Structure 1
């Protein structure tokens, strides 16, 4: 029988992180899972070494992406390699609370109409120390979040893969991750999912930990920072594609009107900014009224030498 949960770990030349991720999975209180490690065109030997020392090698499958590879291709390859009913992406540098799987699986068992469940998440900041990566701070990600809704996702992503356990049949329903994207593939997938299905949410104590290393680059870098340009580009690409599909079906009337309103708001904001600058200039001038200028002039005249007296003589 297949395991209940497929845990897909994407990795590339990050043996240290992969070893930590496998240890993180091994520490879960729920153990009916399998791990698919997807080596995205990295050194295969480093992956095999990490699996060999993990102690869970009998539950791990290693696969490799084919050129050109990439984050989405790696995710899709791992998902297609499993028959498990539930799936989650556990990137090699992220982590879980030991009860993450137990509580998320229990939620889906208790809420059969939910297509998946997300959990409260913490951002964990790390810096390189003498003995490896060291946590330097921990802050809530979207503190106070109580639900994942399509409306909120239209504005900005409020979830990360490490926090989302979902039913594998979602990919049969809405498709896999969009391999034309280099970033924001999770957000684009969540938009397709929440358009059709309800996603549960487990609040309270964070059960998922999204690690970030703002100063790291190269193989150790976070996509959040190392791929910042791609994030901005692909965010616009997703929105543009969705808008073009909408216009093809409904015409350009509403978007054109919204564009006009946006232009007028921008012009109004520019006018308000100019007015604020003028008011700031006026207040600055008000600090130096004419009477203060006259007082300074009188002070100078009192202390000036008398023209009637000799040089150096008082007036």
Structure 2
């Protein structure tokens, strides 16, 4: 039985899928399996691609074909349900790892008590565009370099863990349930909050995961859900927060819904205060410049 099950969700993005498979192949840790969930994409094209990959990858890769798209979190659940490893990671088809990701993260999680449900590493943005069927990298910048630990309150304010950076125990789904399939986005954020309400997540302070980002005008096929669907994220955030708070109200308690809504509002207040301070500083500089003239 493999130690780590790597779930890759994809749909007609063979250009990225090749990169994600190479990302796994280059790992120094070798005890893994790949479960590709083809969520309504061209099955024949994907199968043909897999015939061309090295045996070391193909022989340890299984494919689940959905005849029609069931959504990103239904695809994630299909992969997780098929997983044989006791550790799981969601490796989206357009992201990538440092070659030491699995070795470092598995060792880190193995050193933790059972109260730790998973481990997360630092990530970096890789800005890129797709031009004429090829990927062009535009730049690299930090994503969550500020992160020193993972708390439920901080997670309730904002999702700062991309799936590519998070290795967790498969039994978390037995304890917490599956990803919520009705959510178009942010199923990971919802799952992280549920996990942190009962277990811990430990930080591995190394940049081992690459969160590839493409602009909104890249279109639905190549654009990231974050970059191409800000309004969708905002609406789903509100839905998750409202549902959690309603559950608290119906049970007459202060629980995750209360904490999440407070944390979210405090984050917005801090961001607005920061924006106001920056604007004031700019006005002061402008006024001083005019005075000196």
- Scaled by the length of structure 1, what TM-score is found? 0.78
Instruction: Structure 2: state its 5+ residue gaps.
Output: 277-282
2:231 alignment counterpart: 229
Find the residue that maps to 2:92 and give its secondary structure.
Answer: coil
Q: Is this contact kept in 1: 2:39–2:69, CA < 8 A?
A: no
**Displacement after TM superposition at 1:49 (Å):** 2.4
Q: Is this contact kept in 2: 1:65–1:73, CA < 8 A?
A: no
1:305 alignment counterpart: none
Deviation per residue, 1:217-252 (Å, 9 max, x gap): 131111112232221111101000000000011179
Deviation per residue, 1:186-234 (Å, 9 max, x gap): 0000000011001111013x10000000141131111112232221111
Q: Is this contact kept in 2: 1:148–1:158, CA < 8 A?
A: no
**Aligned-partner Cα distance in 2 for 1:129–1:33:** 33
Distance 1:247 1:131, change over 3 A: closer
1:220 alignment counterpart: 222
**Displacement after TM superposition at 1:120 (Å):** 0.5
Structure 1 window deviating more from structure 2 (98-107 vs 224-233): it is 224-233
1:29 alignment counterpart: 28
Matches within 5 A, 1:127-206: 127-129=129-131, 132-204=134-206, 206=207
**Displacement after TM superposition at 1:66 (Å):** 5.7
- State the aligned residue count: 263
Is residue 103 of structure 1 aligned with residue 97 of structure 2?
Answer: no
* Alignment RMSD (CA, Å): 2.7
**Aligned-partner Cα distance in 1 for 2:25–2:50:** 12
Structure with greater proportional strand content: 2
**Displacement after TM superposition at 1:130 (Å):** 5.8
- Scaled by the length of structure 2, what TM-score is found? 0.83
Matches within 5 A, 1:236-275: 236-250=238-252
Find the residue that maps to 2:37 and give its secondary structure.
Answer: strand
1:5 alignment counterpart: 4
Deviation per residue, 1:37-93 (Å, 9 max, x gap): 000001112211222222111100010236550000000000101221000000000
**Aligned-partner Cα distance in 2 for 1:158–1:47:** 31
Find the residue that maps to 1:112 and give its secondary structure.
Answer: coil
**Aligned-partner Cα distance in 1 for 2:223–2:49:** 19
Structure 1 window deviating more from structure 2 (75-84 vs 243-252): it is 243-252
1:122 alignment counterpart: 124
Q: Is this contact kept in 2: 1:122–1:141, CA < 8 A?
A: yes
Find the residue that maps to 1:196 and give its secondary structure.
Answer: coil
**Aligned-partner Cα distance in 2 for 1:72–1:42:** 16
Distance 1:227 1:93, change over 3 A: same
Q: Is this contact kept in 2: 1:18–1:50, CA < 8 A?
A: no
Structure 1 residue ranges, 4+ long, deviating more than 4 angstroms after superposition: none
2:47 alignment counterpart: 48
Find the residue that maps to 1:217 and give its secondary structure.
Answer: helix
Q: Is this contact kept in 1: 2:9–2:38, CA < 8 A?
A: yes
**Aligned-partner Cα distance in 2 for 1:128–1:220:** 8
Find the residue that maps to 1:72 and give its secondary structure.
Answer: helix
**Displacement after TM superposition at 1:146 (Å):** 1.0
Matches within 5 A, 1:300-311: none
Instruction: Structure 1: state its 5+ residue gaps.
Output: 274-279, 288-315
Structure 1 window deviating more from structure 2 (193-202 vs 122-131): it is 122-131
**Aligned-partner Cα distance in 2 for 1:235–1:90:** 23
Distance 1:68 1:46, change over 3 A: closer
**Aligned-partner Cα distance in 2 for 1:17–1:245:** 40
